[in-house]
Chains A and B, each alone.
Chain A
Amino acid sequence: MSAYLDYNATAPLRPEAAEIMTRLLAETGNGSSVHGAGRRARAHVETAREQVAGALGAAPAGVVFTSGGTEANNLAIKGAGRKRLLVSAIEHPSVLEAAPGAEIIPADGDGVVDLAALEALLAGHDAPALVSIMLANNETGVVQPVAAAAEIARRHGALLHTDAVQAAGKLPVDMVWLGADMMTVSSHKLGGPQGVGALIVRDGVGLEPQIRGGGQERGHRAGTENVPGIAAFGAALDAACTSMACYDAVEELRDDMELRIGAAAPEAVFFGARAERLPNTLCFGVRGLPSETQVISLDLAGVMVSAGSACSSGKVEPSHVLAAMGAPDDLAQSSIRVSLGWDSTEDDVQAFVSAWSELHGRTRAAAAQASAA
């Protein structure tokens, strides 16, 4: 019996996505071909484009399919052609690394990006800028004030990009309401297949392609479209939005988990707990209990969680997100992320809480013994 609680790293394929994916893997057609097989492939891509646009309050013509969130973030940041870049301190590495010379917008102790700092940074210069602030953080789940940031950006003639990879499918997301100029979404974080994502671009925002070739995706992104993957992405996002009410129950599970961990370990620090968070994410640390030890012991007990984000799992450096929130290194290096999914159950939470409490109890007993000796 295993409990998978690492949905922010990747999620299982939703049945709706699996169905169309399996069906289309048995069909053949290049979406650019003019014959019947090509036109059928094209129709699947266009249906998905409408599903993605509809789910996110965008226009279908603004949806550019990519190979995933990383590519979409790179396309937004490198493709917008703005010399001045402002990114928040808690962005995903694909944003931070794509903007090596960017000015950093700090976050506060709750993990919320500091809008006064954004305002001050923008007020100082005239150069047209691009601001990138994620909609919800992948490690803490903290939801960012993107609509307000977009308002500030607009006042200063800056473009706003938001990485909505973790938010899409878990929260209602509306491009128009947010006022974002560009938005990134990833398929596999919301129950679609890996290898697909999209950059949504507001009408009128110019974009320089990063992959050149045939004129696919209206010249924004060359390469034969991944027809089954794109169709399954559309189906998954559609299903996620239709069933979003299930996150009320997920949130209850998360809150229950937080209470129970807090009861077992009063010294635990819950990151972002005072801010608005994604309903599925819990990130906390207990000094003296290294992240790797927790992840490995939990894995032995059949419970899968992560230390920080998946792409940095291999590294031992403390999380830049927790550091930006002012967490000291020893606490950051003793933190884990538990992320639930739409189909997580009370049993999953029970498995996690039991395994974790046992580890915590053992560690405390060993520490007490050591100090007694």
Chain B
Amino acid sequence: MNQRQRIYLDNQATTPTDPRVVEAMLPYFSGKFGNPHSDSHAFGAEASGAVEAARAQVAGLIGALPREIFFTSGATESNNIAIKGLASGRRNTRRHVVTCVTEHLCVLNSVLELDDQGFDVTYLPVDAEGMIDLDELRAAVTGDTLLVSVMAVQNEVGVIQPMAEIGAICRAAGACLHTDAAQAAGKIPLDVGEMNIDLLSISGHKLYGPMGVGALYKREDSGVRVAPIFSGGGQEQGVRPGTVPAPLAVGIGAACAIAAEEMAGEANRLRLLRDGLLRRITEAVPGIKLNGHGENRIAGNLNISVEGLPADAMMAAMPDIAVSSGSACSSAESESSHVLRSLGLTDEQAEGSLRIGLGRFTTAEETKIAGDRLIEAITQLRKRGAANSVAAE
């Protein structure tokens, strides 16, 4: 009986909060607890100063100006504000929106709301490796296109879209580009200037920051007008009213600063671990298919279909290893992933897929144990399946 150590390999669902981030946050929970909007007294001013420093840290990660960063409760809210807010906030007559079939549900559902309001929506397909076709994008974007929303990194298969090329196409057509960068920020270099990105969403808890906080980058440009979803006391320049939670803002700021510093080295480490894991699995058991592009993907993501085996059976066979089937928010649903089906997988392949998300705190030792456990699970389940079908005959 090998040791049943719990191993967390679901870093695309949520990441552990880096202890350095927690350290930065703690003072704002205890002594420095002011409301950052009460800046006429000392406690408020202290909190307000911390929020502004955090804003600069977030801006620094993506090459933005601090005043272009708005704190939100998370990437879902940022995506909702970016898409619905742009549609109701911009003084123009453009009525066309382009997005991609593999977007996160919060983008697709926000776009659906625009669809209901009478906007034309083009859903770009992806190829078998999860990439959009730039020629198709070019053909889809017209003088009537208000917004193109394409995620920088896909949450299930980790595929990286060519944001700079997408940005150039949007810029040429005068369309705004929004990107859901929840999975990309802190994992790959992003520069809103070079990439011509107008709106960008970040999540705290996907980059080793706290849950409950995110950010929206909005280019300071008269063409990028965003109406708020919520109304209130005018905080965050009216884009997102409500008390800015100072400890959470400090947390996402610290997380962005750490990521900016360590991103390159960390990506190399994770890539070696991940590629080693995939190699071990494919060498040990047949019928493994990698989902998503082999090269254009973030270093911590592995998504595989295991022939003949449903994901839930594999997960049940190794309950101490936290991996997922599909994205976290759809985990509870029985439907197979819309993303994997968009890549052309059959329902059976999609249902037999596992997302293995390595992260900053994943060690080589853990990766090795997880690989062993998965290989063992696949072998056992297949043996049992074969025995059952023999018995049935």
Binding site for B on A (CB under 8 A): 2, 4, 6, 9-13, 18, 21-22, 25-30, 32-38, 66-71, 73-74, 92-94, 97-98, 100, 188, 193-196, 210-216, 222-229, 292, 295-296, 298-299, 302, 304-307, 309-314
Additional A-B contact list (6), CB under 8 Å, known A224-B328, A226-B213 = A33-B14, A94-B233, A210-B230, A215-B333, A307-B40, A310-B38
- Check if A32 sits within 8 Å of B245, measured CB to CB: no
- Check if A299 sits within 8 Å of B243, measured CB to CB: no
28 A/B residue pairs, CB under 8 Å, sorted by A: A4-B43, A6-B41, A10-B38, A12-B30, A13-B30, A22-B29, A34-B332, A35-B322, A36-B6, A67-B72, A68-B73, A70-B233, A74-B232, A93-B232, A93-B233, A188-B245, A194-B247, A210-B80, A212-B76, A212-B105, A213-B76, A216-B329, A222-B80, A224-B76, A224-B211, A292-B40, A299-B40, A306-B40
Binding site for A on B (CB under 8 A): 6, 8, 10, 13-17, 19, 22, 25-26, 29-30, 33-35, 37-44, 72-77, 79-80, 104-106, 109-110, 112-113, 203, 205, 210-213, 229-235, 241-248, 312, 315, 319-325, 327-333
The interface residues of chain A, by DSSP majority, are classed as loop
Which of the residues A35, A68, A196, A299 comes within 8 Å of B324, measured between beta carbons? A35
- Check if A26 sits within 8 Å of B17, measured CB to CB: yes
When distances are taken between beta carbons in the complex, the residues of chain A under 8 Å from B13 are: 30, 32-33, 38
- Check if A70 sits within 8 Å of B211, measured CB to CB: no
When distances are taken between beta carbons in the complex, the residues of chain A under 8 Å from B77 are: 67, 211, 223
| Shortest beta-carbon contacts, A-B, top 4 | A214-B329, A311-B233, A226-B212, A213-B106
The interface residues of chain B, by DSSP majority, are classed as loop
When distances are taken between beta carbons in the complex, the residues of chain B under 8 Å from A215 are: 329, 332-333
Query: Chain B: which residue is nearest A9 at the CB level?
Result: B35
When distances are taken between beta carbons in the complex, the residues of chain A under 8 Å from B242 are: 67-71, 94
- Check if B44 sits within 8 Å of A304, measured CB to CB: yes
- Check if B329 sits within 8 Å of A68, measured CB to CB: no
Query: Chain B: which residue is nearest A292 at the CB level?
Result: B40
When distances are taken between beta carbons in the complex, the residues of chain A under 8 Å from B26 are: 22
Say whether, besides A33-B13, A70-B232, A223-B77, A313 and B40 are in contact (CB < 8 Å).
yes
Query: Chain B: which residue is nearest A295 at the CB level?
Result: B40
Q: How distant is the Cα of A28 from the Cα of B208 in the complex, in angstroms?
A: 10
- Check if A25 sits within 8 Å of B17, measured CB to CB: yes
When distances are taken between beta carbons in the complex, the residues of chain B under 8 Å from A67 are: 72-74, 77, 212, 242
- Check if B232 sits within 8 Å of A311, measured CB to CB: yes
Q: What is the CB-to-nearest-CB distance from A236 to chain B, in angstroms, rounded to a whole number?
A: 12
- Check if A299 sits within 8 Å of B41, measured CB to CB: yes
Q: How distant is the Cα of A311 from the Cα of B244 in the complex, in angstroms?
A: 10
Q: How distant is the Cα of A212 from the Cα of B104 in the complex, in angstroms?
A: 11
When distances are taken between beta carbons in the complex, the residues of chain A under 8 Å from B241 are: 70, 93-94, 97, 311
- Check if B322 sits within 8 Å of A310, measured CB to CB: no
Which of the residues B14, B105, B211 comes within 8 Å of A213, measured between beta carbons? B105
- Check if B233 sits within 8 Å of A28, measured CB to CB: no
- Check if A13 sits within 8 Å of B232, measured CB to CB: no
Q: What is the CB-to-nearest-CB distance from A127 to chain B, in angstroms, rounded to a whole number?
A: 22
When distances are taken between beta carbons in the complex, the residues of chain A under 8 Å from B203 are: 224
Query: Among A21, A73, A212, A228, which residue has the most Cβ atoms of chain B within 10 A?
Result: A212
When distances are taken between beta carbons in the complex, the residues of chain A under 8 Å from B333 are: 215
- Check if A71 sits within 8 Å of B30, measured CB to CB: no
Q: What is the CB-to-nearest-CB distance from B326 to chain A, in angstroms, rounded to a whole number?
A: 10
- Check if A2 sits within 8 Å of B10, measured CB to CB: no
When distances are taken between beta carbons in the complex, the residues of chain B under 8 Å from A196 are: 212
When distances are taken between beta carbons in the complex, the residues of chain B under 8 Å from A34 are: 312, 315, 324-325, 331-332
When distances are taken between beta carbons in the complex, the residues of chain B under 8 Å from A223 are: 73-77, 106
- Check if A9 sits within 8 Å of B14, measured CB to CB: no
Query: Chain A: which residue is nearest B324 at the CB level?
Result: A33
- Check if A25 sits within 8 Å of B210, measured CB to CB: yes
Say whether, besides A34-B332, A224-B205, A10 and B324 are in contact (CB < 8 Å).
no
- Check if B41 sits within 8 Å of A32, measured CB to CB: no
When distances are taken between beta carbons in the complex, the residues of chain A under 8 Å from B232 are: 70, 73-74, 92-94, 97-98, 311
- Check if A194 sits within 8 Å of B10, measured CB to CB: no
- Check if A226 sits within 8 Å of B73, measured CB to CB: yes
